Structure 1
Amino acid sequence: MAAKRGAASPTGSRREPFPIYAIVGTDSYLISEARRDILRKALGSDPDPMAICEFEGRTAALADVLDELRSPSLLAPLRVVIVRDADPFVSAARGSLEQYLEEPSTTGVLVLQVRTWPSNTRLYRATQAIGRNIACEAPKRAALPAWIKARASEGYGCVLAAGAAERLADLVGSQCGRLDAELAKLASYVAPAAQITRADVDALVGSSREEKVFGIADAIVERRPATALAMWHQVLATDRDAPYRAMGGLAWGFRRLTAARRMLESGENETAVARAAGFWGPPGDFCKLIKRLSVAQWEDSLTALLSADIGTKTGLTETERAVERIIVRMCAPPARSHR
């Protein structure tokens, strides 16, 4: 059941839902989770859509927002008013919003979704005093293992053994939505047990297509055709119902490797290059791999894969054999020039 706003606990401390929430940041998963939590606290587990009003920040008029906040909902104890992408709205109405928060509506909950929300402003301090500022930026790399452990415990009742959170962070990176999805799979995988080990992570997440694509590329540039072919067969095995999707996935991976090589050529630092390519292991290892071929050689490899991809989709060739031929050709030593 939804709580009435403005009530206090017996100890005198504030109790949610608050009259205002600022959702600050750009991580779409964390923003979605914050919104869901606010709606649950204000309207219950099954919120009435008629008690929710949403505005776009670039077109929202202050008068309309305040009217909605001050208009009681007919079927719910509160009305939740959300302003999405609210930065321009806040900039235009900052003074009026500060005045509103001095005496906010007792029947409305204002939710501002913003990218920036400086802590040295009156609006930030007023929100902190009577509401809540919610940070929705993905954790930095060093903080990821702690976030993963907390999410596993709070969301799935699981604990991660030594090295498991670090390994998951290496494989997935700071994409909170994907991390949560992987934790959900891992929790189901280990059930009824409640501990997730590094071996579990390797078994369920470590076999991701991205990792196999990098492995195939590594084997190719080291001219190990048997290893590259074995890994290609593993990629196919992950999508047996639609082999052409496996081909497309491989081509997509090589496209990222080609783009990463171009970034290195233009002077980008190794960490930025590795992360842009979706590689979350040591950046030096990744860049060592892609440096083994020139931009032109990566482009030739990508062109061959894309041509084979088109061939398989138009029925001109068969997926497995087409990629096998490309791998064998790419693993062959370069021809010597004759003078």
Structure 2
Amino acid sequence: MHATEFLKKKSPDVPAITVLFGDEPHFKRGVRERIEEIVLGGDEDAASTRFPGEQADLQSVLDEVRTVSMWGDTRLVVVEDADKFVSNFRSGLEKYVPKPSKGSTLILEVNSWPKNTKLAKAVAASPDSTAIECKAIKGAALVRWLKDEAASVHEKKLGPDAAGLIVELAGDDLGLLSQELSKLSAYAGDRSEISVEDVTALVGGWSTKTTFEMLSAIRTGDIDSAMRQLDALLTAGEAPQRVLGGINYTYRRIMKGVDESSKGTPLAAALKSAGVFPREIGQTEQYLRRVGRPRAEQFRNVLLRADESVKGGGRLPDRVELERLLIALSGANAEPAAV
């Protein structure tokens, strides 16, 4: 079971032994806090003890697990960073798993948990123990997590476009993403949904908003407006590499749509499948039909050359390289053509 599945459950079962394995501390913390809430139930008199895995010994941990507090009948014991602990006391843990203390809960937090070991097999086979995967998630799974987190924690709807943009702008660190969601929820206020515009304004800031406006001008053929936006970005100190990164982010999806349409998929459907924002599909479709397929299919090479130049392989100043790129992408003087 992955941590995302456990955290979705309204009333998950908590056995006597839970192993949290993987490299994502945000998931480990979330599952541990949920278990604490279930096991201790907010009881101030209930006992909770943590051991550092590098220093803990099995006898001390099990003594703590088996000791019933005079103030409560439930104990929660956590061994943090327990890889060394598991390695050193594997034999003793193998003996404990089949007959754990029923009145307490033991949590082992590890990075590595090979499923072919005797201990892992014993945990998997016992009704009194479980192992929860706390590994990092990427791609579609990360977008789903953001949407679920927005709904369950902040009671906000977060569409796939807005969720995907958060990941593009903020990265895939779950702790940071959680903070961004909190800010976005507060920013949205009484509105029920966090929009792409909210993400652009708050996570990306002025530079991201300006980059998107520049690219919109490119799609409509307004090269003068696009040049003004580029000048504003560079004058404000935005790094040319970052500006180019924003252009590449948008055009990766456009080029994927062009490739898909070449296989017979209708252009609008191809752009949607490629991840182009729904509100931009109509404008992007008109843009591609204006510039024509032959020129559109050259955009990937144009972008690659600009990338090499801005990263130090060109003789011209970065501003000039970016200006030339915008002119090439705009399809200036292009007649309407089939795509």
* TM bracket (short chain): 0.5 to 0.7
Partner of 1:90: 86
Please tell me whether the aligned partners of residues 24 and 133 of structure 1 are also in contact (alpha carbons under 8 angstroms): yes
Q: Secondary structure at the match of 1:126?
A: helix
Q: Secondary structure at the match of 2:132?
A: strand
Match of 1:107 among 103, 109, 112: 103
Q: 1:66 offset after TM fit, Å?
A: 0.8
| C-alpha distance in 2 between matches for 1:82 and 1:226 | 58
Q: 1:159 and 1:225, CA in 2 relative to 1: closer, same or farther beyond 3 A?
A: closer
Please tell me whether the aligned partners of residues 147 and 159 of structure 2 are also in contact (alpha carbons under 8 angstroms): no
Q: 1:193 and 1:225, CA in 2 relative to 1: closer, same or farther beyond 3 A?
A: closer
After TM superposition, the score normalised by the length of structure 2 is 0.58
Please give the residue correspondences for 1:180-219 in structure 2 after superposition, counting only pairs within 5 Å. 180-207=178-205
| C-alpha distance in 1 between matches for 2:235 and 2:74 | 57
The answer as to 2:154 corresponding to 1:137 is: no
Please tell me whether the aligned partners of residues 22 and 112 of structure 1 are also in contact (alpha carbons under 8 angstroms): yes
Q: 1:286 offset after TM fit, Å?
A: 9.8
Deviations 1:281-329 (A, max 9, x none): 9xx99987764356799xxxxxxxxxxxxxxxxxxxxxxxxxxxxxxx9
AA partner of residue 37 (structure 1): R
Q: 1:76 and 1:208, CA in 2 relative to 1: closer, same or farther beyond 3 A?
A: farther
Q: 1:192 and 1:80, CA in 2 relative to 1: closer, same or farther beyond 3 A?
A: same
Q: 1:200 and 1:71, CA in 2 relative to 1: closer, same or farther beyond 3 A?
A: same
Q: 1:153 and 1:234, CA in 2 relative to 1: closer, same or farther beyond 3 A?
A: farther
Q: 1:331 and 1:92, CA in 2 relative to 1: closer, same or farther beyond 3 A?
A: same
Partner of 1:21: 18
Partner of 2:50: 54
| C-alpha distance in 2 between matches for 1:169 and 1:17 | 32
| C-alpha distance in 2 between matches for 1:168 and 1:62 | 44
| C-alpha distance in 2 between matches for 1:287 and 1:29 | 36
Q: 1:86 and 1:143, CA in 2 relative to 1: closer, same or farther beyond 3 A?
A: same
Partner of 1:37: 34
Partner of 2:62: 66
AA partner of residue 196 (structure 1): I
| C-alpha distance in 2 between matches for 1:18 and 1:172 | 36
Q: 1:183 offset after TM fit, Å?
A: 1.4
Q: 1:332 and 1:153, CA in 2 relative to 1: closer, same or farther beyond 3 A?
A: closer
Please tell me whether the aligned partners of residues 19 and 110 of structure 1 are also in contact (alpha carbons under 8 angstroms): yes
| C-alpha distance in 2 between matches for 1:35 and 1:208 | 38
Deviations 1:193-235 (A, max 9, x none): 22222222212212188x69x99xxxxxxxx998677447868
Deviations 1:41-91 (A, max 9, x none): 11123655x722222222211111111111112323322111111111111
| C-alpha distance in 2 between matches for 1:157 and 1:118 | 37
| C-alpha distance in 1 between matches for 2:107 and 2:22 | 13
Deviations 1:128-176 (A, max 9, x none): 4323322222212232211111111221222223512221221122111
AA partner of residue 144 (structure 1): L
Partner of 2:282: none
How many residues of Structure 1 are paired with residues of Structure 2 in the alignment?
239
Partner of 1:261: none
| Gap regions ≥5 residues in structure 2 | 1-10, 213-225, 243-274, 276-299, 322-339
Match of 1:292 among 294, 309, 312: 309
Q: Secondary structure at the match of 2:77?
A: strand
Q: 1:46 and 1:30, CA in 2 relative to 1: closer, same or farther beyond 3 A?
A: farther
AA partner of residue 107 (structure 1): G
Give me the CA root mean square deviation: 3.9
AA partner of residue 115 (structure 1): N
Partner of 1:307: none
| C-alpha distance in 2 between matches for 1:234 and 1:158 | 34
Q: Secondary structure at the match of 1:163?
A: helix
AA partner of residue 18 (structure 1): P
AA partner of residue 292 (structure 1): S
Q: 1:92 and 1:77, CA in 2 relative to 1: closer, same or farther beyond 3 A?
A: same
| C-alpha distance in 2 between matches for 1:159 and 1:88 | 42
The answer as to 2:165 corresponding to 1:148 is: no
Q: Secondary structure at the match of 1:38?
A: helix
Please tell me whether the aligned partners of residues 162 and 198 of structure 1 are also in contact (alpha carbons under 8 angstroms): no
Larger deviation, residues 172-181 vs 288-297: 288-297
Q: 1:139 and 1:330, CA in 2 relative to 1: closer, same or farther beyond 3 A?
A: closer
Q: Secondary structure at the match of 2:190?
A: coil
Q: Secondary structure at the match of 1:119?
A: coil
